[in-house]
Chains A and B, each alone.
Chain A
Amino acid sequence: MSPELILPVLIPLTAGALSLSLWRSVRYQRLLAVLANGLLLWSGIWLLMSTTEHGFITMQMGSWPAPFSIVFVSDVLAAIMIVLTGIIGLAIAIYSLASTPRGHEKFGYYPLMHLLLAGVAGSFLTGDIFNLFVWFEVMLLASFALLTLGGERAQMEGAIKYVTLNLFSSAIFLSAVGLLYGMVGTLNMADIAQKVSQVEDTGMITVVAMMFMVSFGIKAAAFPLFFWLPASYHTPQVAVSALFAGLLTKVGVYALFRMFTLIFNQDVEYTHNILLWAATLTMLTGVLGAAAQFEFRRILSFHIVSQIGYMMLGLALYTPLAIIGGVFYIMHHIIVKTNLFLVSGFTYRLLGSYELKDLGGVYKYRPLLAILFLIPALSLAGIPPLSGFFAKFVIIRAALEAEAYLVTFVALLVGLLTLYSMIKIWAEVFWKKIPDHVQNTEELKGKLNEKHAWAYYVPMVGLAICTLIIGLYGQPIYELAEMSAKQLMNPQLYIEAVLGGDQP
């Protein structure tokens, strides 16, 4: 038995239930949120340590032997993702103490946050394809409710697009699971991986692979399927935006990594070539979309899309170095992107707007905040010695080694355009004088009229430190990514761990 494997799901689920039973007492809900997400981070670190020691950890639900039961599997990639979930969860919980409006807290903000995290953690750990669908739905339902909490016009419009496209993607996912089950007669991912090579009708396997690619592509916001993201991510209140930006699309990316290394590795020429094109166009359209925007969170939303391209590029090149780069990029991106959203939320708190034309003068009055923006922003653009530089460096090196020169060029160009967008924000929000038409500037110039002002700074500083650590002490992080890439490139290890693994 290994309790650390199930704890990352159990902790948020229990916390969600407890939080619901404390419905009337917002104070205890807040306390519980910070406590439970701290525990989640702790269990994630425990899981990562024991996974790096053993290679794989598996657990069969109800002690049924492997292909018949629902299994939970943790490899290094899943464990890394759980640690990141813990970090982001804790940061958001603390930030919410200050930023979440009282009305949202009263209507179940904290329970929904816990359930969302449970869904995310479950998606990372499950080894059963139908169970993955169920965890996706747990995550989606919580995210629907979080997105619409508050009920403003923009939120409703954004939510309709978000809900429709995500349900559409779920329906494709479910159909693909059904077709796959019809061919191989099993739902256990390891068992599918083993049996899929014996199926004679390889054309049908490719069809199913493409259905999975479209479904996860929608969830990950890949090139032609990303329009729901910039239409909805800037509408909810900022802690929710930051949580979504950090974790939700990355669940889709994780699912792509899992499926297209473990199961659909037969026809790499075809599937991964499509992934390569999708990745390239995702990078390019995302960054060009961002260049045309003049609203803080919309710019950041478009940058999520362009960064997803880099991660998919790592998968699409399908060499060990590229996979290392992809995993490294995921680690870097989750932390940096969440931090940027948190900074945008704090400037909104100070000046009451996300529009660049209504912002200004932050550097003069709040130099610390300016530095806290600069660290993740330059990291996102890939300036050394921050985390983004190494992430981009590994991927671009892998692309050069694979002799994909066009893709390399696009990746470098997108880095440059990212820098342009970040400088645009820097110049408008931080360097520019406060525009004349902005009235309420007392809070920017003087003291913040807020009981929990520390709760804004702690997560931003914490995440900035994480960025610096990944940048300056990159070696251990790189080694982690290397271990996970080794496991991903040898699906046989996963299959053996699940099917021939230690029986309880």
Chain B
Amino acid sequence: MESLMAYVVGIMFTAAFYMMLRRSIVKLVIGLMILSNAANLLIFVVSGMTRGAPPLIPEGASGPVGIVADPLPQALILTAIVIAFGVLAFAVVLIRRAYEVVGTDDLDQMKDTDT
């Protein structure tokens, strides 16, 4: 399962880079979206995948019994998703505004500020 997920993460990173390297700013944002999801999935996979073992402590015990899933990566991913969502909302508004002001969605036309 882990090796399959590793390939999925790799494919997602590849897709994200491909989208980011295209000229349209809409595709750029889609690329950023996939990129953040790929990073989240990576955290999920590297911390180890455990099936059907929620990290619950039985009554009377001082710690979980047996092998349980690590709850921390899920908390991290949740935080990262919320942040990525906020950033994405900003990015979408930004490209819309940029399209209005510049009048094109082609990144190659947006090099006035480059040197």
Contacts and interface: CB of A to CB of B under 8 A. Distances in A.
Q: Do A and B interact with each other, yes or no? A: yes
Interface of A: 130, 133-134, 137, 140-141, 144-145, 148, 151-154, 156-161, 163-164, 167-168, 170-171, 174-175, 177-179, 181-182, 185, 187, 227, 230-232, 234-235, 289, 292-293, 298
B22 interface: no
A164 B97 contact: no
Nearest to B31: A164
Interface on chain B toward A: helix, strand, loop, or mixed SS?
helix
Contacts of B110: 156-157, 160
Contacts of A161: 113
B73 A171 contact: no
Given A156-B94, A160-B95, A163-B94, A175 B32 contact: no
B24 to A, nearest CB: 12
Contacts, number: 111
A156 B87 contact: no
Interface residues of B, number: 38
A178 B74 CA distance: 11
A137 B101 contact: no
B113 A235 contact: yes
B113 A137 contact: no
Contact of A164 (B28, B40, B70, B102): B28
A148 B94 contact: yes
B10 to A, nearest CB: 12
B83 interface: yes
B111 to A, nearest CB: 7
Contacts of A227: 114
Interface string B42-86: 110011100000000000000000000010110010011001001
Contacts of A298: 115
23 contacts: A141-B86, A144-B90, A144-B94, A148-B94, A151-B97, A153-B102, A154-B112, A157-B110, A157-B112, A160-B110, A161-B113, A163-B90, A167-B32, A167-B36, A168-B20, A170-B36, A175-B38, A177-B43, A178-B39, A178-B42, A181-B73, A234-B113, A292-B115
Contact of A134 (B38, B83, B102, B111): B83
Contacts of A158: 113
A157 B111 contact: yes
Contact of B115 (A140, A156, A289): A289
Contacts of A170: 36
A179 B46 contact: yes
B43 A156 contact: no
B46 A145 contact: no
Nearest to B111: A157
A156 B112 CA distance: 11
A34 B70 CA distance: 46
Contacts of A153: 101-102, 112
- In this complex, the member of A137, A144, A227 whose beta carbon has the largest number of chain B beta carbons within 10 angstroms is A137
A167 B79 contact: no
A231 B43 contact: no
B112 A145 contact: no
A171 B46 contact: no
B87 A167 contact: yes
A156 B91 CA distance: 11
